[in-house]
C-alpha cells in the first residue's frame, strides 16, 4: 500500500475530491484537480491497486430509514484468547446493527457503534443477543443525544 508521504499533490487532490463526491465524472474531476481525464483514470486505478481506495458507497441518512438511535457500547470479554476474539469479531461482522467495531486498549476490550430504530430495539439487541454471546462478560452503553460531526473523509 502506498504510504501517505508518497502521494503527490494531484493524488491528494483526487483523494480529497472523491472523498467528498465519488460521483464526479473523470472529466469533472480532471478539471477540478488540474489533470487530464485519462490521467485521473490512471491515477484512480493506481490508488485502488495500492489500497488507498478500498470501496465506493452511497452514504445513507440513518433517520430517513428509521435507524436514528446511535449507541456506543463498551464490551469486556471473559476470555482474551485468540479463538475467543476471532469468534466475537466474526459475530460482530454478522450483525448489521453494529456498524463500527474497535478493539481497544484500556479498561474495555471493544467499542461498538450500534445503530437501531429506538431504545426498545437496542434493549432487545443488548439483552438477547450481545450480552448472550459466550465471550462477553459485560458492557456499558452510552446513547448519543445528537451527532455534532460525522465524516468518512480522511485528511490528505
What pTM does this model have? 0.87
Q: What is the CATH number of domain 7-49?
A: 1.10.10.10
DSSP assignment letter at 117: S
Residue 4: pLDDT band by 50, 70, 90 thresholds?
low
Residue 2: is its pLDDT beyond 80? no
Span(s) in the chain for CATH 3.30.70.920: 62-143
Give me the pLDDT at residue 31, please: 96
Class of 62-143 in CATH: alpha beta
Cβ contact 106:115 at 8 Å: no
- Residue intervals of the chain classified under CATH 1.10.10.10 are 7-49
* Order of all β-strands in the sheet with 98-103: 98-103, 110-116, 69-77, 136-143
User: Which cell numbers hold the place of 147?
Assistant: 451527532
Best CA proximity match to 141, nearest among 113, 118, 100: 113
Amino acid at each position: 500500500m502506498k504510504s501517505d508521504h508518497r502521494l503527490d499533490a494531484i493524488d491528494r487532490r483526487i483523494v480529497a475530491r472523491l472523498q467528498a463526491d465519488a460521483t464526479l465524472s473523470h472529466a469533472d474531476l480532471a478539471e477540478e484537480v488540474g489533470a487530464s481525464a485519462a490521467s485521473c483514470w490512471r491515477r484512480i486505478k493506481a490508488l485502488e491497486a495500492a489500497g488507498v481506495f478500498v470501496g465506493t458507497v452511497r452514504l445513507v441518512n440513518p433517520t430517513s430509514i428509521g435507524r436514528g438511535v446511535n449507541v456506543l457500547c463498551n464490551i469486556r470479554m471473559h476470555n482474551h484468547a485468540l479463538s475467543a476474539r476471532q469468534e466475537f469479531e466474526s459475530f460482530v461482522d454478522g450483525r448489521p446493527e453494529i456498524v463500527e467495531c474497535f478493539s481497544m486498549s484500556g479498561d474495555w476490550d471493544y467499542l461498538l457503534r450500534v445503530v437501531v430504530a429506538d431504545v426498545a430495539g437496542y434493549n432487545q439487541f443488548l439483552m438477547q443477543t450481545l450480552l448472550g454471546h459466550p465471550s462477553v462478560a459485560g458492557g456499558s452503553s452510552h446513547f448519543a443525544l445528537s451527532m455534532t460531526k460525522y465524516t468518512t473523509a480522511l485528511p490528505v
